[in-house]
Amino acid sequence: MSKYGETETVLREEKYLAEALQAMGYAVEVYPEGTPLKTYYSEQEAKVANIVIRRRHLRGAYGDIGFARQPDGKLTLIADELDQHCGYGAKWLGRVQQGYKEKQTLAMARAKGHILKGREVVQTKDGQQVRLQFVVRR
C-alpha cells in the first residue's frame, strides 16, 4: 500500500502556483478552505489541499496531487509516494517551482512598469533554465 508524502516548498502565493500549473497543461482546482484529495487506495489516510490536480488529469498517477497552505504561509506538496516514480517527483516539482517563479517575476516586473523584452530557455547541466529580459517603460 502507498501513502501520501509531504514535501515542503518555498512557494507562498496560490495565484502564481495555479498559473504555473495551468501553463504546464494541468486542470487546476483552487479551494481557499481546502478539499480532500482522492487516491486509488481507499484505506489511505485522508489529506486536504488548497490547490489540487485531480488524478484523472495526471497520466499514470495513483492519486490527486495537491498543495496545502501551512501555518507559516508556505505551500506544501502532497502526493502519493508511488507517484514520485510516475514522473511527479523532485524534477517535476522543480519545473513547477520554476514556472511559479517566472509567473511571480513577470507580475512584479509589470507592477514596476517594466516590459518583457524577451524570454529564453537555456539548457544547462541541471536542466532547462528560463531567462527573462525586461526594459523600463519610459
**27: pLDDT strictly greater than 90:** yes
C-alpha cell at 61: 498517477
Q: How high is the pLDDT of residue 105?
A: 92
Q: How high is the pLDDT of residue 18?
A: 97
Please provide residue 59's backbone torsions phi and psi, each rounded to the nearest 5 degrees.
Answer: -55, 120
**42: pLDDT strictly greater than 80:** no
Single-letter residue type at 82:
L
What does pTM read for this prediction? 0.86
Q: Taking residues 49-76, what's their average pLDDT?
A: 95
Closest C-alpha among 91, 96, 85, 78 to residue 38: 78
Q: How high is the pLDDT of residue 79?
A: 92
Model confidence at 46, in pLDDT bands (50, 70, 90)?
confident
With b for 16 or more beta-carbon neighbours within 10 A and e for fewer, the 23-42 pattern comes to: eeebebbeeeeebebbbeee
- The tens digit of pLDDT for each residue in 89-138 reads 999 999 999 999 999 999 998 898 898 888 888 888 877 778 888 888 76
Q: How high is the pLDDT of residue 121?
A: 84
Work out the end-to-end distance of the chain between its first and last CA atoms, rounded to an integer number of angstroms.
60
